[in-house]
Structure 1
Amino acid sequence: MSCNHIKSNHLYLKNPSQNIEPFTMLISSLSFFKSHWAVWKLVGLAFRQTKRTKLYIVYSLMLNLLVSIGFPLHLGLSIFRNQNLSDDILNLTTFATCLACSLKTAIYAYNLDKVRQMEQLLSQLDLRIKSAAEKSIYIKLKTQLRNILYVFIGIYLPAGVFADLAFIFKSERSLMYPGWFPFDWLNSTRNFYIASAFQITGVSFQLTQNYANDCFPAVMLCLISAHIKMLYVRFEQVGVDDAENAEDQLEACITDHKRLLELFRTIESFMSLPMLIQFAVTGLNICTSIAGLLFFVTEPMTLTYLIFYSLGVPLQIFPTCYYGTDIELWFGKLHYAAFSCNWLAQSRSFKKKLMLFVERSLKRTAPLAGGMLTIHVSTFFSTLKFAYSLFTILIRMRN
């Protein structure tokens, strides 16, 4: 057994008696998608998962015409037509976010069948989790996914709360977000309540859509990263146990690698365009929200809302960028795992297959947004630099 093998097992399994649950524990990566499917059903995207299809289609059409199209439209029609610059900033940032949310929702709805393909591949990979070291990685995966959930709750909850408080504590009658309505809401109490109810309902559904839009890619990339780590451990075990056929073990690992690559390509095609939209909107919204904070907004509650909003916008893309980087790193390490197995004592046929695998694993595997931008931590910081560049241009125009 090689030194690398011993070190790797030490990395993943420092104390088996404390870290490993009983071997009868349920392993199902699909359980991590329950909340996403619940959201997709709620917002009218999961046509094939409902029994009353016709009724659900009517519900979906009404909801998406009202929210996915109507809500961004009523915000967009009032851009730069508000009474002050503070409302213009709030209007622009909200419109950009809601338009991006609706576009991403439409793209995900079109590609939703790919989620089932990904679930099938994950189910096949789950069946391969057998050793204590692999189960230790799976247990750590649960903690990572829980942390992702906490990140998104931490993004949406404060922003939503302070948006409501800013609306409640306004000294004059005004809407939660500046927007256009085909009726006079300012001088009619009934119309004001109708407009406010529409905005509260619309933003609630947009936040719900955004949860699935932003959280699902991060969760899927985190799962792929964990399965690559498990494959790394599995490779190291090839040829160690004389009771098992080393070549069969190698072929099974190569099959796992092919499934992981297929899973990776599927999630990349699923999130590629939405992530490109998100990068662009993130840069714009960071710039406009900070400009509003520094120069235009004076109301305390609106200021607090913009603080949480400007912090939350970049955090929406950070988990996805982080696990995109992690996937590239671990895919790039697999050839080390291949040479950590007991390959010296194996047959020529085994060594040929191992070399073919190593050649394939040397190819860079990194997710791309729109086929142009790498979904990587470096792109996250590039987005922040882009926002800073826009901000400097805005300052020069203001001067």
Structure 2
Amino acid sequence: MELETSSSIISKYSTNRAVTLHTYEAFKYHWFVWQFCGLKYPKNHNWKLLYTVYAIILNATVTLFFPLTLIVNCFLSENFTELCENLYITITDVICNLKFLNVFIVRKKLLAVKDILDRLDTRAKTDDEIHALRMGIRSAHKCFCIFAIMFGCAIITSQLVVYLSSERTLMYPAWLPLNWKTSYRDFLIAHSYQVYGLTVQAIQDLGNDTYPQAYLRILCAHIEALSLRISKLGNKKGMNSKEVNKELIECIKDHQIIIELHKTIQQIISTACLAQFMCTGLAQCTIGVYMLYVGLDFSKLLNIVIFFTAVTFEIFILCHFGDQLCQRAEQLTVAIYSCNWMDQNKKFKQALLLLLKRSQRPLVIMAGDLIPLKLPTFVRVMKTAYSTFAVLSEVK
């Protein structure tokens, strides 16, 4: 059987576009995660009471108690070595819970985006526009899967601390009301709780850290689809000037919807992105302190390497998609110049000039209204982390 060409695949998708094309599908994995974490009621209302009880128990035993065990242990540290050993995971876990709280606060806005995306989805009519949107959905799903693998590896490698240690120890130093150092039964209970808590926290953090990238990627996809739509204005055969003008007006309306989508996404992910920058910076610094003053054994090395890679990759992806958003906005301006505006009437040119002026406004996502999500920002964060590490090395 011959392989299908990319154009035939796109054509097949466009045939059923009205039924299958929903860019909100890019976030379906995130809503599975949030439903697991107790943030979204199931569709069957008969389970509402049981789900409420489940959500309360899950968040009381993990979201509240798990970071508390780490924080209390920090205060009970008897020396600087013990403090360093616990600090990097404590800071990350606390910020993870703050990001989860932010998702709880903005969850209604996360759902409201669906109506905006549905309006834009109906405008994608040609094969290349549909392909651009489908690539956005696939990219968002791929990003989620990559992070899921990273978080899974972090959970697995954290077990090495327990199994490779010469003495009885927990995955992460924590205060627990159990005598786990002398009692094997208490140790099994403590270890099982940490596995349970770490797994739930990792799933929560998976949703927290991947939804900003997904929303940015879908925004980029819709800007790309609009650029393709505008570049074809005046080039379609069989269309009179009235029909071309009408299509331009529709494109202007699409651009207004995209600006509305940009503002909504800015409100949704601004706090989460700022928290992520703080988390990455603090985690990198505390890991550096830990390596300098405590050192590493093989049982902890792999877990810390994966942990460091994950928190660094999180802000890289954010800055990457933020940079892509700026590039897509520039492509939109190029598309306006590329359409066949010279052969159109005065009314078309006036409307196009209005669209051109609006398109020149920068579409930049700001983390906490302070830090632009761009690749140069990622470079500055890495330079700052390295400079801090170098200063700590000299102090030692």
Question: Same fold per TM (> 0.5)?
Answer: yes
Structure 2, gaps ≥5 residues long:
none
- 1:8-47 maps to which residues of 2 (within 5 A)? 16-17=7-8, 20-25=11-16, 26-47=20-41
Q: CA shift at 1:59, angstroms? A: 2.2
Q: Which secondary structure state, in structure 2, belongs to the residue aligned with residue 328 of structure 1?
A: helix
Q: Does 1:230 align with 2:225?
A: yes
**Contact 2:33–2:207 (CA<8 Å) still a contact in 1?**
yes
- Aligned with 1:118 (options 97, 113, 118): 113
Which deviates more, 34-43 or 303-312? 303-312
Distance in 2 (alpha carbons) for counterparts of 1:75 and 1:20? 54
Q: Kindly provide the CA deviation profile for residues 230-276 of structure 1, in whole angstroms up to 9, marking residues without a partner as x.
A: 11000011122253411111111111111111111111111111111
Q: Does 1:327 align with 2:321?
A: no
Q: CA shift at 1:298, angstroms? A: 3.4
Q: Which secondary structure state, in structure 2, belongs to the residue aligned with residue 173 of structure 1?
A: coil
Aligned residues: CA RMSD: 2.2
- 1:88-99 maps to which residues of 2 (within 5 A)? 88-99=83-94
Identity of aligned residues (%): 30
Distance in 2 (alpha carbons) for counterparts of 1:196 and 1:190? 10
Q: CA shift at 1:394, angstroms? A: 2.3
Which deviates more, 295-304 or 267-276? 295-304
What is aligned with 1:135?
Answer: 130
Distance in 1 (alpha carbons) for counterparts of 2:43 and 2:99? 20
What is aligned with 1:72?
Answer: 67
- Aligned with 1:103 (options 98, 102, 105): 98
**Contact 1:290–1:310 (CA<8 Å) still a contact in 2?**
no
Q: CA shift at 1:189, angstroms? A: 2.3
Q: Which amino acid aligns with 2:32?
A: A
- Aligned with 1:378 (options 370, 376, 379): 376
Matched pairs, number: 385
Q: Does 1:316 align with 2:288?
A: no
**Contact 1:50–1:56 (CA<8 Å) still a contact in 2?**
no
What is aligned with 1:284?
Answer: 282
**Contact 2:162–2:168 (CA<8 Å) still a contact in 1?**
no
What is aligned with 2:249?
Answer: 251
Q: Which amino acid aligns with 1:170?
A: S
Q: Which secondary structure state, in structure 2, belongs to the residue aligned with residue 284 of structure 1?
A: helix
Q: CA shift at 1:107, angstroms? A: 0.7
Distance in 1 (alpha carbons) for counterparts of 2:323 and 2:390? 29
Q: Does 1:59 align with 2:54?
A: yes
**Contact 2:30–2:211 (CA<8 Å) still a contact in 1?**
yes
TM-score (norm 1): 0.90
Distance in 2 (alpha carbons) for counterparts of 1:300 and 1:83? 24
Q: CA shift at 1:148, angstroms? A: 1.2
Q: CA shift at 1:97, angstroms? A: 1.2
Structure 1, gaps ≥5 residues long:
1-13
